[in-house]
Copies of this chain bind each other. A is one copy, B any other.
């Protein structure tokens, strides 16, 4: 429901001779931006352009479930990180930097979004900083990027109060304006440990979301018992307000460190209320348990978080790298387990974010990636250059470089 409707852009064409991850050789026929059919030996209609897949592995376009396009230094001179270790150090350092650096959120979000497309991402949720100093400047930049890339990238914008909601009066009014101005989702941040008043903070957030009929994506870094407490308050509001299927809890570190019984009770509530979880799979922090989430029916999907910004030097627009880091974090080694990691940045992420018409089936939007790899597991660990990226039915990249749509047999 939060997806951007992309225009129909292409006539019929055919990709031949690709391998699904189950090994089956198939062709993919594409028309009007959708997958018309997928299967072995599809009919080759006269006049239909053909792209020879040459036996490449067929993957769906990737989904970035949580990043911050607006604050990246991607492609710029290196930002020297001399920031202190606390969450508040990072927030305050960034606010100073944002005021002084002349950072261009429009140009930077465009540069990084294009790098995502090049590496095969066709759907992306980005959290955009909104605060009383920057106002809606970053939002304006990312809205421009969304408009520029609307034919190739389905971009969801979260209006994110990076400096907190309660501590800086006027932030709620800015979020309200952001949601009116085109933000798809309302963000939030640590209602107890940043805002200092979890009930007031959550009530304000849910009230705003309800008024705009928009979903919520909350950054919940709060650890252990305090995180569990906040999460419980959040789930109460989801139930009371009927916002099932409309809320994502990002990070949710607390679910990696609670006693099993307490954790499982929360997972059961998350599943019942269809509240999804997002993890970046940080190796130095507890994370929600992937396989237990799957067993209990909790949607757990993946993302980078920030990429080369004042918070972190890490991150990459290559979602196969994020899949690898997720797989390593959960110690997935078997080939069938590695498929779970790809799910985190493809089908499960699309479900978590509410991206529609997604997947490798007739009727889905034609968002495809071809790579030279024997298997899905090899694609994840070797991360070969993308042989072909198709977005919205059009070729947008070939052999790791941006390309015009021109199928070539």
Binding site for B on A (CB under 8 A): 77-78, 80-83, 281-285, 308, 311-314, 324-325, 327-331, 333-336, 338, 373-375, 377-378, 380-381
Contacts and interface: CB of A to CB of B under 8 A. Distances in A.
Nearest to A334: B81
Nearest to A76: B374
Contact of A82 (B314, B328, B335): B335
Given A283-B325, A314-B328, 15 more contacts: A78-B373, A78-B374, A78-B378, A80-B335, A82-B334, A83-B334, A283-B284, A284-B329, A284-B330, A284-B331, A311-B333, A313-B378, A313-B380, A314-B324, A314-B327
8 closest Cβ pairs, A-B complex: A283-B283, A284-B331, A78-B374, A283-B329, A78-B375, A78-B378, A81-B334, A313-B381
Nearest to A82: B334
A83 B381 CA distance: 17
B328 A284 contact: yes
Contacts of A80: 335, 375, 377
A255 to B, nearest CB: 16
Tell me what chain A mostly uses at the interface: helix, strand, loop, or mixed: loop
15 contacts: A78-B375, A78-B378, A80-B375, A81-B334, A83-B333, A281-B283, A283-B328, A284-B329, A285-B331, A308-B381, A311-B333, A313-B335, A314-B327, A314-B381, A325-B328
Contacts of A313: 333, 335, 338, 377-378, 380-381
Given A313-B377, A324-B314, A381-B308, A81 B329 contact: no
A401 to B, nearest CB: 16
Contacts of A327: 314
B377 A78 contact: yes
A319 to B, nearest CB: 16
Contacts of A308: 381
Contacts of A329: 283-284
Contacts of A377: 78, 80-81, 313
Nearest to A380: B313
